[in-house]
Amino acid sequence: MSAPTVLSIAGSDPSGGAGIQADLKTFSALGAYGCAAMTALTAQSTQGVTGIHPVPPEFVREQVLTLVDDVALDAVKIGMLGAVGVAEVVAELVREVLDCPVVLDPVMVSTAGSRLLAEDAVEAVCHLAPLVDLVTPNGPEAAVMLGGQEARNAQEQREQAQELHRRLGTRVLLKGGHLPGPRAVDVLVDHDGTATLTASRVETTNTHGTGCTLSSAIAALLPRCDGWRPAVQEAKDYLTRGLEHSDQLEVGHGAGPVHHFHAWW
């Protein structure tokens, strides 16, 4: 098939390691043509976020409507939404306009600890989640969505993933990068049951944009994979290799980016 066309609806990261910049790099590295609709500008580096400038919700809508009027999309990845109005507009677009698989990374806090979602927007993102085809929270995000404590071990992680799936009625990939242990364990729950995906934990501080990269890799790979589970596994493998080669890059003084183009450079 020709290269799939994938849209990222997300915020900008000037350092290039996360957000729309990471999404477009991931799409390209995995053979997909990337499009992008901006939800927010950030003043950001590998050391944190110093400012957020939201895009007006109606202009987010206009970006997407103008694009889909011309371009056929094979998949969509949604990342940082930032504000409640943007989350509500994106929910309307998913429900009424975007007729393709949608992956939601419910971005709430950056790797460096900076808050990327307004307090009053959490509920709006939770209302968006049941409309998409896959939600990819990390441990802290799952805790917020469930209104409880972050999972402390693999059993609690599995239970929280299953509870999120039950509440949302859609596929859930609960990432386990925040849990200790020699293996990085993610839990995927869908209507076929619960699957555990494991990889060797990579000892590196270069973890900026890992969530953005994984969710965009799933969206890029899905059109060419035989179902969601193979796409998720292949995306996890891609991220692991990007982490393994991240020390080849020397970007910033904080949490550096993964190496999106490790197979090409």
Q: Is 212 a catalytic residue?
A: yes
Report the alpha-carbon distance of residue 215 to residue 88 in Å, rounded: 21
The active-site residue out of 82, 176, 211, 242 is 211
Query: Is 111 part of the annotated catalytic residue set?
Result: no
Question: Which of the following is catalytic: 5, 136, 210, 213?
Answer: 210
Contact status, residue 138 vs residue 104, Cβ threshold 8 Å: no
Burial of 258 (0-12, 13-18, 19+ CB in 10 A): buried
Q: Measure Cα distances from 71 to 57, 118, 169 in Å.
A: 21, 31, 29
List, as one string, the DSSP characters of 115-147: B-S-GGGHHHHHHHGGGSSEE---HHHHHHHHT
Tell me how far apart the alpha carbons of residues 186 and 183 are, in angstroms, rounded to a whole number: 10
Task: For residue 210, indicate whether it is catalytic.
Answer: yes
Q: Of these residues, 39, 111, 207, 213, which one is catalytic?
A: 207
Q: Hey, how many other C-beta atoms are within 10 angstroms of the C-beta on 254?
A: 16
* 236 counts as catalytic: no
What DSSP string runs through 170-214? Answer: SEEEE--TTS-SSEEEEEEEETTEEEEEEEEPP--S--BTHHHHH
Q: Which member of 19, 34, 82, 209 is catalytic?
A: 209
Instruction: Specify the DSSP element, H or E, that contains 169.
Output: none
Contact predicate 26/10, CB 8 Å: no
Whether 211 is catalytic is: yes
Indicate which residues carry an active-site annotation.
Answer: 175, 207, 209-212
